């Protein structure tokens, strides 16, 4: 699968049809996601303490053992979650074996990954945002985690990346909207001025330069007033006669009588 995070700017939230809108934006310069998501040092420093408990061992690890059979299934390619159910009222979960976490000896606990574990995961994520089963197993083994934990970390990491990207895209579109609104205002004003000019002195108007023509590039929809190439560099009709170019006269058609 194409890594969507690498696609520059795309607003679509669906997985396979995210090419409906592609805009040149600051995001194209590939934001430094790792900088955006880097965990503040001061936050990490407190993590290993955790009241002196090695979160990867007890009692969390003990509770996680309850899902061990599930993990082994997963290694064979099966997923755990569709077979488990959750009672919404108490958060008491029953596994496919019919044993709730509480019956297993503990409610849902969550561990904090150590600084080193997080760093390794981050490094791995830099290389590839998804894990194949082999990579998952290797990474889990390296970090002394369950494969499911590595998988979950990557899932959440992808979600965070996408959320951040969406925020950036949203900001960019806001700015686009503001710019277009301003441009529209300016053009409206220009139209009014030209209309007034035409009314007041038709002779001066007749000697003005011909209207500028904007070219709409069909591939990227950028607009250019260059007669041979669009802003994106795609050749215009004169050099590429097969391109479905659409010249846009920007000055309103004013009858010259």
Return residues touching DNA (CB under 7 A): 1, 4, 13-17, 39, 42-43, 46-47, 49-51, 60, 64, 67, 76-82, 84-86, 88, 90-91, 93, 107-113, 118, 130-133, 148-149, 151-153, 155-160, 162
- Using alpha carbons, list the distances in angstroms from residue 189 to 77, 184, 197, 250: 64, 8, 12, 13
Question: CA-CA distance, 123 to 76, in Å (whole number)?
Answer: 26
* Residue whose CB is less far from DNA, 110 or 207: 110
Task: Compute how many other C-beta atoms are within 10 angstroms of the C-beta atom of residue 140.
Answer: 20
Nearest distance, CB of residue 221 and DNA, angstroms: 24
User: Residue 72's closest CA among 8, 133, 3?
Assistant: 133
Nearer to DNA, 57 or 109 (CB): 109
One DSSP character per residue, 88-136 reads TTT--EE-TTS-BHHHHT-----PPPPHHHHHHHHHHHHH-SS--HHHH
Nearer to DNA, 30 or 228 (CB): 30
Q: Which is nearer to DNA, 93 or 230 (CB)?
A: 93
Q: Do the Cβ atoms of 56 and 144 come closer than 8 Å?
A: yes
Q: Which is nearer to DNA, 57 or 185 (CB)?
A: 57
How far apart, in whole angstroms, are the C-alpha atoms of residue 108 and residue 193? 69
Q: How far apart are CA 189 and CA 207, in angstroms?
A: 21
Comparison of 148 and 236: residue with beta carbon closer to DNA: 148
What's the farthest any 2 CA atoms get from each other in the chain? 93
Tell me the closest approach of the beta carbon of residue 177 to DNA, in angstroms.
23
Residues in contact with 151: Cβ distance below 8 Å, sequence separation at least 6, in sequence order = 74, 131, 136
Strands 213-216 and 93-94: unpaired
- Burial zone of 185 (CB within 10 Å; 0-12 exposed, 13-18 middle, 19+ buried): exposed
Instruction: State which residue, 147 or 236, has the beta carbon closest to DNA.
Output: 147
């Amino acid at each position: 699968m194409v890594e969507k995070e690498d696609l520059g700017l795309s607003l679509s939230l669906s997985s396979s049809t995210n090419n409906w809108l592609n805009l040149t934006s600051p995001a194209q310069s590939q934001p430094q996601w790792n900088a955006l998501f880097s965990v503040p040092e001061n936050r990490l420093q407190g993590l290993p303490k955790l009241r002196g408990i090695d979160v990867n061992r007890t009692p969390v690890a003990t509770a996680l053992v309850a899902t061990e059979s599930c993990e082994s299934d997963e290694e064979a390619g099966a997923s755990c979650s569709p077979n488990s159910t959750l009672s919404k009222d108490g958060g008491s979960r029953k596994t496919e074996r019919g044993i709730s976490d509480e019956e297993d000896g503990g409610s849902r606990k969550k561990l904090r990954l150590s600084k080193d574990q997080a760093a390794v995961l981050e490094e791995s994520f830099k290389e590839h945002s998804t894990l194949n089963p082999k990579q998952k197993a290797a990474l889990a083994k390296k970090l002394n985690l369950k494969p499911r934990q590595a998988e979950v970390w990557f899932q959440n990491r992808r979600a965070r990346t996408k959320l951040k990207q969406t925020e950036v895209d949203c900001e960019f579109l806001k700015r686009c909207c503001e710019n277009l609104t301003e441009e529209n205002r300016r053009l409206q004003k220009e139209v009014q001025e030209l209309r007034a000019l035409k009314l007041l002195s038709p002779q001066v108007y007749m000697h003005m330069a011909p209207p500028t023509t904007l070219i709409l590039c069909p591939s990227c929809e950028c607009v250019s007033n260059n007669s041979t190439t669009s802003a994106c560099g795609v050749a215009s009709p004169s050099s590429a006669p097969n391109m479905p170019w659409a010249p846009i006269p920007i000055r309103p058609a004013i009858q010259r009588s």
